[in-house]
Amino acid sequence: MPKSPALRRKGEDLGFRTGTGFFAALVVLLVAGIAFVLWRESRLSIAKSGFNFWRTKTWDPVSGEFGALPFIWGTLYSSFLALLISTPVALGIAIFLSELSPRFLRTPLAFLTELLAAIPSIVYGLWGVFVLVPLVRKLEVLTPAWARSLPLFSGPPLGVGMLSAALILAVMIIPFTSSVAREVLKAVPATQREAAYALGATRWEAIQVALRYGRTGVIGAVILGLGRAIGETMAVTMVIGNSPQVVWSLFAPQYTMAAVVANEFTEAADDLYLSALIEIGLVLFVITLFINALSRFLIWSVNREVKAQAPKAAAVPAPAPEVA
């Protein structure tokens, strides 16, 4: 006997719900599993170094001294610099493509930016080694002596170092930030811009209105780029110089967390050393989690601000009918 349509729908929905729910739960389990394994495998190092792991600078596999500070510093510094360089460029691309570009240019340009995201990081690394690093070295050689005495530009002109890493990271995250930002700008209702133009806004002012409307999305786009920059391994290790130190200099070789794990994992034979490398993974995990939480908070607070302003704005014209 055939089931009634209502009953059938109910059964199907239940199956659908359980199925998708299971997949969603899988993600939670995966994250928890990764965290658990990272913690379990790094127990030896945690027990030995404790909190010193986070704040000491010596990484010496020979004597078994492990301090992750230079790697944490390198990861955060390079990612921050990359964001600093890439955000204006990516937003510029997004604005041009969504607001200003002639129609015939739009598709090829969008395609090309997105193509940048599809290039494997090892290819970026090779390009970095053979093209970018020599250019950066030239730039470093040309830097005048007075600038070289500043802590930001000190050190011999090696080419490899923080600046090369930040530049290559910036190129790598531009497509992510720009394509998300472009979608966000596209999703801004036309009424917003029309209203701005109606009030006599210039194009630049109208774009500002659109950016303001979509700011949570724009922040999300930037955070997406940051996530990519923090975890990037291969291209960075090929150009950053791999020298664990905590310095401000853009010209100095430095090191990142992902790079040290990739570099040293295969040859780490003794238990404490291996455990310390896995703890680096754990630290990277915690920092990524923290930054994601921070970005959620940022988006939440921006939203709250918008909501808090909205009733006030509505409240002003509200009494008008009463007066009338």
Partner 1 sequence: MNLNIRLKAALLGLSAGLLLGAPAQAQTVQINGAGATFPFPIYSKWFDEYHKQHPNIEINYASIGSGGGIRQLTNETVFFGASDGPMTNEQLASAPGAVLHFPTVLGGVVPSYNIPGVTANLKFTGAVLAEIYLGKITKWNDPGIAKLNPGVKLPATDIAVVHRSDGSGTTYIWVDYLSKIYPEFKQKVGVATSVNWPAGVGGKGNEGVAGLVKQTPGAIGYVELIYAIQNDISFGDVQNHDGKFVRASLESVTEAAAGATTAMPPDFRVSITNAPGANAYPISSFTWMLFFQNPQDKARAKIMADFFKWALRDGQKYCSELGYAPLPKEVVALELKALEKIKL
Among 268, 291, 298, 302, contact with partner 1 (rule: CB under 8 A): 268
Nearest to 64 by CA among 261, 270, 280: 270
Binding partner 1 by CB under 8 A: which of 77, 99, 110, 159?
Answer: 159
Tokens encoding 29: 């389990």
Round to whole Å and give the CA distance between 199 and 56. Answer: 58
Beta-sheet strands, E only, within 65-202: 65-66
C-alpha–C-alpha distance, residues 122 and 134, integer Å: 18
281 binds partner 1 per the rule CB under 8 A: no
DSSP H or E run through 59: strand 59-60
Q: Is residue 146 within 8 Å of 152, Cβ to Cβ?
A: no
Told to check if 41 binds partner 1 by CB under 8 A, we report no
Does 237 interact with partner 1 (rule: CB under 8 A)? yes
Among 42, 241, 279, 281, which residue sits at the site for partner 1 (rule: CB under 8 A)?
241
Q: Is 42 in the site for partner 1 (CB under 8 A)?
A: no
Candidates 12, 194, 205, 270: give the one binding partner 1 (CB under 8 A). 270
Restricting to residues 59-118, name those near partner 1 by CB under 8 A: 59-63, 65
Contact 176, 92 (CB under 8 A): no
- Which residues within the stretch 113-152 sit at the binding site for partner 1 (CB under 8 A)? 129-130, 133-134, 137
Burial class (CB in 10 A: 0-12, 13-18, 19+), 164: buried
Q: Are 299 and 220 in contact (CB under 8 A)?
A: yes
Q: How many residues bind partner 1 (CB under 8 A)?
A: 36
Stretch that binds partner 1, among 6-14, 43-51, 180-188, 253-261 (CB under 8 A): 253-261
Q: Is 246 in the site for partner 1 (CB under 8 A)?
A: no
Report angle CA 25, 28, 33 to the nearest 5 degrees.
125
Separation between Cα atoms, residue 159 and residue 253, nearest integer Å? 9
Candidate residues 27, 269, 314, 315; the one interacting with partner 1 per rule CB under 8 A: 269
Instruction: Report the residue number, 62 or 324, with the smaller CB distance to partner 1.
Output: 62
Compute φ and ψ for 319, nearest 5 degrees. Answer: -70, -15
Give the nearer residue to partner 1 in terms of CB position, either 58 or 309.
Answer: 58
Q: Does 35 bind partner 1 (CB under 8 A)?
A: no
Beta carbon of residue 62, minimum distance to partner 1 (angstroms, whole number): 3
- Residues of this chain that interact with partner 1 (CB under 8 A) are 58-63, 65, 129-130, 133-134, 137, 156, 158-161, 237-238, 241-243, 253, 255, 259, 262-271, 274
